[in-house]
Amino acid sequence: MPKLTRIIKNIGQLFWPFLEGEVKPDTTIYTCEKRMLQEIENIQDVPLLNQFASMAEKLYLEEKERLQTVEGKGATFLGTSGFAATLLIWLAQIVVDKSFFKNDCWFSIMILTLYIATQVYFLRTIYLSARCLSRRGYRAIDRRIVLPDSGINQSQYLKRLAVMYVANYSHNRRVTNEKTDLVALAQENFMRAVICIGVIGIFFIAQKAFAQLV
């Protein structure tokens, strides 16, 4: 039974790509600033804390760069919306052109089905790309934490700064992973839309060739 379920899922993925499961929230200590501060409360070695803050900042910046790369891919797919709209209008004009179909009912049904599938895939590509560009849930650097308080010593400041970087990195990592999944789905839908267009072209060529032979 599990094997049959897997086969059905694989067949379904061919026509309607989807993700199995979802990105689980990070509930570790690295997302809670208070817990991390308690963990390193007794550390007073300034050079060590300085290195910790430097590495934490590096992690945060690398994750920010990864997010920008993923969003760039999402923007690329979203930029195809104009091309998709033009292509869908062109296909619609062909679909309603009776000279292509004549009295061939089955041919008309196949072309219409492929056209609808192309439209759905393109619309889903645009929708997923737009969701990828949403900054909901993304955490930025809190300027209030960066600004030192009066009376705070160097070790306390470094701890607070490093913990903020680690917490933001851990949270944003989940956001970036979700966006990566959205871009992957957008790419799969775009690829299927292109395949549908190619199949429509092949059908038209075959139909014309058959009409000439008859």
Is 24 among the domain residues? no
Is 73 among the domain residues? yes
Q: Provide the pLDDT for residue 65.
A: 92
Using a 10 angstrom Cβ sphere, with 0-12 exposed, 13-18 middle and 19 or more buried, the burial of residue 42 is exposed
Write the CA distances from 72 to 76, 129, 205, integer angstroms.
6, 10, 37
Quick check: 52 and 158 in contact, CB under 8 A? yes
Is 27 among the domain residues? no
Domain hosting residue 79, numbered range: 34-213
Is 101 among the domain residues? yes
Quick check: 37 and 163 in contact, CB under 8 A? yes
Q: Provide the pLDDT for residue 32.
A: 74
Using a 10 angstrom Cβ sphere, with 0-12 exposed, 13-18 middle and 19 or more buried, the burial of residue 159 is buried
The number of folded domains in the chain is: 1
With residues binned 3-state (H G I as helix, E B as strand, rest as coil), the percentages for the chain, rounded to 5, are 80, 0, 20
Is 16 among the domain residues? no
Low-confidence ranges of the chain (pLDDT < 70): 1-2, 4-6, 10, 12-15, 20-27, 30, 94-104, 211, 213-214
| Helix orientation angle between 105-132 and 154-213, rounded to the nearest 10 degrees | 170
